[in-house]
Each structure stands twice: as C-alpha cells, then as structure tokens.
A and B are shown apart, each in its own frame.
Chain A
Amino acid sequence: MRELSATAVQRAVAAMVIDANCRISPQVLQQMERCRAEEEQPLAASILGRIIENDRLAAERCVPMCQDTGMAVFRVQLGQELHITGGSLEAAIQEGVRQGYREGYLRKSIVADPVFHRDNTGDNTPAVIYYELTEGDRLTLTFAPKGFGSENMSAVRMLKPADGAEGVKAFVLDTVHHAGPNPCPPIVVGVGIGGTFEKCAQLSKFALMRELGSSHPQPAYRDMEQELLRAINEMDIGPAGLGGHTSALAVHIETFPTHIAGLPVAVNICCHAYRHGTVTL
C-alpha cells in the first residue's frame, strides 16, 4: 500500500488555496476577452475590461482577485490503496486551509455559529469537504473558494417528473433572473439534476469545479447547457448587472439517476471570479 504523509497534503493545500485565489485560469480570461470584443454596449465592454485588468493585476501581484476569498470547499478523491501517515487527512486539509489563508493574506470569512454566535473563527476554517473513495493509490484534491455574493443567489427545487426538460430550464432561468446583478455577473451556472435533495446540490457544486465551458458527455444535456447559456445572455443582465449580452460565461450541468417519483434540480451560481485548483498526490 502506498503511503503519503499528512504534512505533504497540508503543504499542497496551503499552496493551492493561495494560487486559486490569486490566479484566474486562462480559459476564463480568454472567454471574457471574447465577450468584451462582442459587447455592443460601451459600458458593458468597459466593465469587462476592468474585470480583466483586475484579474491580471491580481495574478501579477499575487493578491486575491476578490476580497471575498470564500468558504473553502474541497472535493477529495482518495484512492483506496493509499494510506495517509502522520495524522488524519481531515486535519491536514483544515491545517492547510489555515496556513494558506494566513500566509496568502486571504480574508477570513467564516463565523463559528450560523445563528446565535456569529464570531469569526479567525482562520477561515472549517472547510467544507466532500470525500469519495476511488480505485488506485492517488489522492486528488479539488478546491473552490466559494464567495457568498453568488452562493446566496443559489436555489434547490424538487420538480415533478412531469415538469421534464422544460421545467428544469424554467427553474434555472428563473433563479438566474431573480439573482440579477447580485452575484457579480458574468456568472457561471452550475446545475445539478437528479439524485436526492442533497445529492443534486452537491452535483451543482461539482459542476462549478469543471473547466470553464467543458460539456456534459451526453448530447441532450450538452444542448441544454448551450440553450440555457444563450437564454441567459439574452436576459440583458450584463456585466455587473448594468445591461449587455455578457450575463453568463458558461452553464455546466451534472446529472445522476433519481427516484421514479422525483426530479430534483439545484442551481449553484458562481461569480465571474471562477476560481479553483486541483492537485494529485
């Protein structure tokens, strides 16, 4: 059985959280450049220009592109032939978050209790961690710092099977329309369809960890992604919500089998700071 030290995990996590917060992916920059070139409204084009300039500046200076450096969310895929030594995997990830948020001068945005004692934990922990056991002897960690301007605009609905594709599309568009300028458009829309109440929400989060503009493997869902993206960009929300054709950069759908009685759908919205990192150890 292969061994991996908890210290190595902590180090990798600390480096990844800083990098993901400061460096946007080239795909996001390229997509925003394309949208800027196509924008007909001068204000929309100028706002996209400011966002692009901001993201370049952040990478150059290694400072976060947004002050909301998010709640740390991890998808952990742990090979069953891998043994973590010298401490627990959970503690190593949480310690890596603590270290990265401190050393990277990232904002600490987590309160210890949601209702009665909203005191800042001071180190941005705890992170939200989803574990999966996989084949092999590798550990893959995917990280997304989730800002709450867009998280707050997300929604889950338990549709009826009879609602079908039209019901799914209407719910996604309704959620995006209702969000309007609040989630810092142009947004990326993660849609989870199927499973149970919590499974579809998790799928919608994982949809926001995909490379920008990547497609669902099935043609029917790929077409739905494209159709929804076109419909959202016709809503005239625009960059910062001040009008224009660039309301979303992508729609990503993830699916899972579901119950004969159900059609759960979750819409998780991400701002234009579409940040994440992946490392395999």
Chain B
Amino acid sequence: MKHLTLPLTPSAVESLRAGDEVLLTGWLYTGRDAAHKRLAACLAAGEPTPFPLTGETLYYVGPAPARPGQVIGPAGPTSSYRMDPYTPALLEHGLRCMIGKGRRSPEVVDAMIKHHAVYLLTIGGTAALTADAIYKKEPVCYEDLGTEAVCRLYVKDFYAIVGIDCHGGAVV
C-alpha cells in the first residue's frame, strides 16, 4: 500500500501503475455530471473555471446529506464514464487525477497519456466506509446543484486502487 499526498506531484503520477493500492491524504475537489457540464462550458467559452484545475484531483461523488455533527454523509464514487465527454478538455487544462468507478473511453485514456494524468478507483457502494476517511468539507461553487455542487474535501488515508495509469496501463 502506497501513501500519497494530494494534490499529486508529476513524479508521483509517473510512479503509479495500474493495480497499485494507495492511501491518499490531502485536499481534493468533488464534481459529477452537472458540474462537469458547467466546467466544460466555462472552458469552451475561454473563461476561468471557478476553482483551479492545474495539478488537482476530482472525485466523482454526490454525497448523501450529513447528519448533525457529521462532516459529510455517505460518499462513495459514481460511474466515471458519464464524465468522459467532458474529461479530455479538463485534462488539457491541467487536471491530474480523477477518482471514480468503472471504465473510461479510449479518448479519455489517450488524453491521460498525453497530459500525464492518473485515474483511481474507489469501491462502489462502500459509501459509509469511504465517508470515514473524509475530515473536512468546504463549499466551492455551483451550490444550486444540491448534491452535485463542487466541494473541497480533506481526506486522510483514503483508500483507492490505480485503475488506469499515465502510461496507459489499466485494470478496468
């Protein structure tokens, strides 16, 4: 099990191979379907995104509501392929790491190799367990989207498996 700090450095990304199990500590951003649509529209219009993408990590998640006293509700990954139409543009603008579940399109894999990015898997349907590795949650943008709003999360020892590495190696 490799311990990694977020955001990932280019050399950390280079060192990862598909199938590696990792524990992540640091800050990441959440974003799923509706947020991707807005981010892509932003980039297509040549406008700055509401948060920096360069070197950052996006976790495809729409958490359940937190109970009083909790940081976040259950927060497992959603299927990544739905983000594929928007992902190459995000990678081109510096996105370095994505966390989700399931397969990616050949276009995404090509863009990952070109821009040296990595795709990590978390275990779908282990949302209660996953939430235990999330220690802070801050709103970032698109709050009108409810569960699909973009947040910044501080995670500690967040378990993931390298699904597709920046050399094109894949286990999914």
Contacts and interface: CB of A to CB of B under 8 A. Distances in A.
Interface of A: 43, 47, 50-51, 53-54, 57-58, 61, 63-69, 105-109, 118, 120, 122, 149, 152, 180-182, 184, 239-243, 271-273
Interface size class of B (residues with CB under 8 A): 35 or more
Nearest to A152: B79
A66 B127 contact: yes
B67 A271 contact: no
Nearest to B61: A67
B124 A149 contact: yes
Interface string B133-161: 00000000000011110000000000101
List the 5 shortest-distance A-B pairs measured between CB atoms, nearest first: A184-B124, A182-B102, A54-B126, A54-B129, A107-B64
A106 B75 CA distance: 11
Contact of B102 (A43, A64, A241): A241
B123 A182 contact: no
7 contacts: A66-B74, A68-B78, A68-B127, A107-B147, A122-B146, A181-B172, A184-B101
A89 B56 CA distance: 50
B147 A109 contact: yes
Interface string B83-102: 00000000000000000011
Contacts of A47: 123
B32 to A, nearest CB: 11
Given A57-B128, A63-B64, A242-B171, A120 B73 contact: no
Contact of B125 (A61, A63, A105, A271): A271
B31 interface: no
Given A54-B128, A68-B127, 14 more contacts: A54-B125, A58-B74, A58-B128, A63-B67, A67-B62, A105-B67, A105-B73, A107-B64, A108-B146, A180-B102, A182-B102, A240-B101, A240-B123, A242-B172
B74 A240 contact: no
Contacts, number: 122
Contacts of A53: 126, 129
A152 B132 CA distance: 28
B73 A64 contact: yes
A63 B76 CA distance: 13
Contact of A107 (B73, B121, B128): B73
A109 B62 contact: yes
B74 A149 contact: no
B65 interface: yes
Contact of B146 (A54, A120, A241, A243): A120
A63 B128 contact: yes
A50 B62 contact: no
B101 A51 contact: no
B124 to A, nearest CB: 4
